[in-house]
Amino acid sequence: MNFVSDNAFGVAPEILAALSRANEDTAPSYGEDDLTARVQARLCDVFEREVAAFPVVTGTAANALALATICPPYGAIFCHEESHIVVDECAAPEFFSGGARLVQLKGNHGKITPATVSAALPLYRRGVHGVQPAAISITQATELGTAYTPSEISALGELAHREGMALHMDGARFASALVHLRCTPAELTWKCGVDVLSFGATKNGALCAEAVIFFNRDLVRDFELRRKRGGHLLSKMRFISAQLDAYLADDLWLHNARRANELAQQMANVLSPIRDVRIDIPVETNAVFANVSVTFAAHLRDKGAVFYDWTEPANGRVVIRLVLSCLTPEDAVSQFLSVAAESA
C-alpha cells in the first residue's frame, strides 16, 4: 500500500518495451537520432503548432534549464512559495541562472494569481538596485494536486507579457491536470500564454524522461548550450526519446494520467464520508490531501499503508498526502480503503 509518491513506482510496460526496440542497430548520438526527431514531430502534433522540444532526465533539470534560458542572472521569477522550484530543487534555478531570485508568493490551493504577482511587482521596478522581473512560473498540476484552469493561466500570461516577462509552466504532472480539465494540450499552454513548458513523463510512467518545450522558437536562445554544460545532453539520447515516443504513442500518457486521477477520486469518495477525515483541498488530479487525526494516520500505517505527512501534527490532527500512480495496483487501493473504513 504505497502512496508515498508517483516516483515510487517503476516504468509502464509500453515504455520499457520501447527501450528494447530502440536498442536495435547504431544511431547518431547526442540527440541527432531519428527517435528524438520523431518525439519532436509528435509534440508538434500534440500541441498543434511548431514547438522546439528538448529531452532531459529530471524535472529539476527541465525547470532550471528552462528558467535559466528565459531569466537573466539578475532576474526575478514570481512563483508560489510551495512550488517545487522553491522547495524541492536545492536552488537549482538560482544555480543554472547564475543567481536569479525566486519571489515567493502566497496563494490558496498552491496557486498564484495576477493580483499577488501585481502586488509584488513594484518592488522590482526601481532601477538597477533591485532584481528585474523576468518570469512567472506556475506548477500544473500544483503541489497540492489542484489544476490551474485555462482562464486562470490566461490571466497570468497576459500579466507576464504586459510586464515583459515570460510564462513558464512546471508540468511535472501536466497530463494529470490536462485530463482533469478536459481541454487540449494547446488550450492549456500556448493558447493561454505559456511560453515554455517542463513536460513531465517520469511521474506518469516513464523511467527518466522530461522535455523542455518552447512554444516560440525565439525563446530557445542558448538552451542547447546550457543543457550541454549542465551535463544534461545524453550521449545515447535515443533512449530518453524512446520513452517519450512511447509515452505519446496511442495516447498512453493520457490513459496513464486518467488512471491515476480515477484512483485518487475513488479514494477521496470513500474517505470523504468518514467522520475523522476532512478533505479541504479539491481532489483534481492524482493526489489526496486528507486532514485526519494523528490516531487515524497511525492506524493506517500500522496496517501497512505508506505515505507522507504533509504538515506537522498539531492539535492531534495532521494532513496526510496520498499519491496515486497509473501503476498503483487496484488492490492496494481497495485494501487501503477497507483499512480506512474499519479505522473510522
- Scanning residues 75 to 94, which ones bind a copy of itself (CB under 8 A)? 87-92, 94
Q: Which is nearer to a copy of itself, 124 or 296 (CB)?
A: 124
Q: Does 227 bind a copy of itself (CB under 8 A)?
A: yes
* Cα gap 319→322, rounded to integer Å: 10
Tell me how far CA of residue 173 lies from CA of 138, 166, 254, in angstroms: 12, 20, 11
* Cα gap 339→315, rounded to integer Å: 24
x-or-dash pattern for a copy of itself, window 247-286, by CB under 8 A? ----------------------------------------
Q: Does 334 bind a copy of itself (CB under 8 A)?
A: no
* Cα gap 88→63, rounded to integer Å: 11
Given a contact cutoff of 8 angstroms between Cβ atoms, the answer to whether 199 and 213 are in contact is: yes
Q: Does 134 bind a copy of itself (CB under 8 A)?
A: no
Q: Does 239 bind a copy of itself (CB under 8 A)?
A: yes
Contacts with a copy of itself by CB under 8 A: the residue count is 76
- Stretch 304-323 residues interacting with a copy of itself (CB under 8 A): 312
Q: Provide the CB-side half-sphere exposure for 47 (13 A, CA).
A: 26
x-or-dash pattern for a copy of itself, window 88-127, by CB under 8 A? xxxxx-xxxxxxxxx-x-----------------xx----
Q: Does 219 bind a copy of itself (CB under 8 A)?
A: no
Q: Does 168 bind a copy of itself (CB under 8 A)?
A: no
Strand, helix or coil for residue 321 = strand
Residues 6+ apart with CB under 8 A from 132: 72, 74, 75, 76, 124
Span interacting with a copy of itself, options 45-53, 218-226, 268-276, 277-285, rule CB under 8 A? 218-226
Helix axes 294-302, 330-343, angle to 10 degrees: 130
- Stretch 12-41 residues interacting with a copy of itself (CB under 8 A): 16, 19-20, 22-30
Burial class (CB in 10 A: 0-12, 13-18, 19+), 164: exposed
Span interacting with a copy of itself, options 9-17, 110-118, 163-171, 290-298, rule CB under 8 A? 9-17
Span interacting with a copy of itself, options 109-117, 137-145, 200-208, 258-266, rule CB under 8 A? 200-208
Select from 111, 168, 203, 259 the one that contacts a copy of itself (CB under 8 A): 203
Q: Does 197 bind a copy of itself (CB under 8 A)?
A: no
Q: Does 128 bind a copy of itself (CB under 8 A)?
A: yes
Q: Does 11 bind a copy of itself (CB under 8 A)?
A: yes
C-alpha cell at 220: 530557445
Select from 43, 51, 52, 56 the one that contacts a copy of itself (CB under 8 A): 56
Handedness of CA 41, 46, 52, 57 (dihedral sign): negative
* Cα gap 28→35, rounded to integer Å: 10
